[in-house]
Amino acid sequence: MRDIAPAMPGAVAWGVVTGVAMVKFGLAVSAALGLSLTAYAGSAQLAVLPLLKDVTPVWIIAATAIVTNLRFVIYSAALRGWFLDYSRWRRLWLGYLSGDFVVVAFTNRVATEGAFLHRDAYYFGMALTNWVLWHVASIIGIVGAAYIPTHWGLEFAGILALLALVVPLCRERPALAGALAAALVAVLAHDWPLRLGMLAGVIVGITVAMWLDARKRSRGEIARVAQ
């Protein structure tokens, strides 16, 4: 519990904002509750809201959800080594409950202590705390949204919450360049049908980021050889 305490205010605020934003983007309360309880994915949930509002085809919504969740593929690859001696069923739920904060806290502890005893319980404890907080917060947001006038423009808070995720990720240069390229293409191709402009932006952005990343890597190798 103590190890994720610093992340709690952010998680609660993020949950409330997601809840409010879902309703203010026009989702029925039942749909908002369903989405929140099953998806348990702040960024993907917020990301699909504008798409749902524009009645975008379901496959584009699914693609968007997968792409915004891809960072968890990296996380689970990093976590896997620590959990391989547990049953698959247990690992399935460990995966589902993972979140950004939990993964960071866990990797910090195994980095200093190695494969400590009951690390699954430690992980479960943190993940479950995070899960409960998240759901309580987003339900408060969903229910509370009915009492907030629409003209306050609170759906914009959902956009700001996503922005709060993007900006810190842009510290690495390939990520920054990729994000700028993705945004530029998405703006230029905004009038393409079915939000394909956004997908084009994502593809161009990833290509730019990968290219810069490969260049950085090969420079690093040249520097090592030169020593």
Q: Residues 133 to 162: which contact another protein by CB under 8 A?
A: 152-154, 156-157, 159-162
**Closer residue to another protein in complex, CB, 116/167:** 167
What is the DSSP code string of 31-59?
HHHHHHHHH--HHHHHHHHHHHHTT--HH
The burial class, CB within 10 Å (0-12 / 13-18 / 19+), for 178 is buried
Shortest distance, CB of residue 128 to another protein, whole angstroms? 15
Residue 185 carries which side chain, given as an amino acid letter? V
Instruction: Answer yes or no whether residue 214 interacts with another protein by CB under 8 A.
Output: yes
Residues 166-205 binding another protein (CB under 8 A) are: 166-170, 174-175, 178-183, 185-187, 190-191, 197-199, 201-202, 205
Instruction: Answer yes or no whether residue 39 interacts with another protein by CB under 8 A.
Output: yes
Residues 107-136 binding another protein (CB under 8 A) are: none
Shortest distance, CB of residue 86 to another protein, whole angstroms? 9
Q: Determine the Cα–Cα distance for residues 179 and 4; give it in Å rounded to an integer.
A: 29
DSSP 180: H
Q: Which of 5, 29, 73, 194 binds another protein (CB under 8 A)?
A: 73
User: Angle CA(210)–CA(215)–CA(220) in degrees, nearest 5?
Assistant: 125
